[in-house]
Amino acid sequence: MKKIINKPEDFVNEMIEGILLAHPDKLKTPGDDPRILVRADAPVSGRVGIVTGGGSGHLPLFKGYVGQGLCSGVAIGNVFSSPSSQQCFEATKAVNGGAGVLYLYGNYGGDVFNFDLAADLAELEDIETRTVVGRDDVASQPKDNRLERRGVAGLIFAYKAAGAAAERGDSLDKVAVVAEDIVDNTATMGIGLSPTILPTTGSLSFDLPDGEMEIGIGIHGEPGIHRGALEPADAITDRLVGALVEDLELAEGDRVAVLVNGMGATPLEELYVMYRRVHQILSGHGVLINKNYIGEYATSLEMAGASISLLKLNDDRLALLEAPASSPFFLEV
């Protein structure tokens, strides 16, 4: 399997080194551990800090959303592996400006376990924390068990809104409420067309025969809800958006933000073909798109495929999305 890497065991650290060298005005490491990144001006006194974290292999997810109006810091794990509890704790200390720290990350067992341990360590240091986990993947659990859903690309909406709330000076409890509100009103579903190649082993993360697609696949290759012959773009988009409209109970007059996200190896042109169909479907339901994001926001190495996320909007949520934000991988002015 072909990959542009050096030693597999050096892949993550060399990637982080490259990011720091490219963006020294926006990011820094607060100590000796390169797996902890914070915004260049952290900690911001009197402001809530926001720490995210998760495995590598999803750039720009996690580490790409550290910056003004977004997250304050990130703890970085190996490819598809959680950061340690100590790394989560060190990131917490590095962004604590005296107003507490929100943990905001995807709903995966290892991440939950280690961030919970970090919260216990923070309590011993008199750092107040709150936790909100992204759980937008509608294919991973039915709606009546939505608290157990995986967190995928829709987490970007929560980063944006919570980051804006923290930037304007909201309290820790208020920032957590903002993040929870966004999570509760976000739904995502994806499609996979090819597996990823794990740098450490050179092996495929899952098997998907040529000419087949998998609807509802997870960002680590977790099984989806339908596998079959590859369908045209409109049919695929109909499947994804139909599930999201039903899950969010969208009706005529509702407003949404749309994210059409590439999984790592899908041309931008194809994402716009999908967005065209998203717009047609939602318009047919009388649903207005107030905001759209099209590109690679949460990837899975070189997986071919895409996901669509919808966030049900009101005036408050839209204002938070439209607030200024800046990171090496995201800019909203």
Domain definitions of the chain by residue range: 8-184+322-332, 186-318
Q: DSSP code of 58? A: S
pLDDT at 203: 83
Helices 268-284 and 233-248 pack at an angle, to 10 degrees, of 50
Helix intervals (H) in the chain? 11-22, 85-95, 109-124, 155-167, 172-184, 233-248, 268-284, 315-321
Reference 167, options 1, 282, 322, 6; nearest CA is 322
Q: Which amino acid is at 221?
A: G
pLDDT band at 333 (very low <50, low <70, confident <90, very high): confident
Q: What value does the mean pLDDT take over residues 119-144?
A: 97
pLDDT per residue over 167-206, tens digit each?
999 999 999 999 999 999 999 999 999 999 889 888 888 8
89 pLDDT more than 80:
yes
1 pLDDT more than 70:
no
pLDDT at 206: 86
115 pLDDT more than 90:
yes
- Other beta carbons within 10 angstroms of residue 33's beta carbon come to 16
Mind telling me the catalytic residues?
58, 220
Helices 109-124 and 85-95 pack at an angle, to 10 degrees, of 50
Three-state DSSP class for 158? helix
DSSP for 62-88, please give it. TGGGBSBTSBSEEEEEEET-PPPHHHH
Instruction: Yes or no: say if 152 and 305 are a contact pair by the CB < 8 Å rule.
Output: no
With pLDDT > 70 as the criterion, what percentage of the chain qualifies?
Answer: 100
pLDDT at 155: 98
* Multiple choice CATH, 186-318, 3.50.40.10, 3.30.1180.20, 3.30.460.20, 1.10.760.10: 3.30.1180.20
| CATH topology agreement for domains 8-184+322-332 and 186-318 | no
pLDDT at 212: 96
CATH superfamily of 8-184+322-332: Dihydroxyacetone kinase; domain 1 (3.40.50.10440)
